Amino acid sequence: MIGRIRALFWGMFFKYLGKGTTIAHSFIGSLPHLISIGNNTTIGIRCIFGAHGNGSIEIGNNVAIA
């Protein structure tokens, strides 16, 4: 439940956040407006995503990142 609330918070900043996504504690997102995350995705503890410059990060549906 807390992971879903955390995802809702980060969803305000991401380029796109799909339904059913959860984000564990200690997640760090650099330039979150360049990050898109699909549906039913789980982001694990202490994950760091960094998009810089003209780049972006796109994560598909049904993905688990540890």
pLDDT digits (tens, 9 = 90+) for 37-65: 999 999 999 999 998 888 999 999 999 99
Total domains present in the chain: 1
Note the pLDDT of residue 1.
75
> What are the C-alpha distances in Å from 51 to residues 4, 13, 20, 27, 47?
23, 13, 23, 14, 13
Q: What tokens appear for 7 in the block?
A: 């995802």
Q: What tokens appear for 38 in the block?
A: 């699909």
12: containing domain: 2-65
Residue 51, SS3?
A: coil
Percent of the chain residues past pLDDT 70, beyond the cut: 100
Percent of the chain residues past pLDDT 90, beyond the cut: 80
* 55 contacts: CB under 8 Å, gap ≥ 6: 34
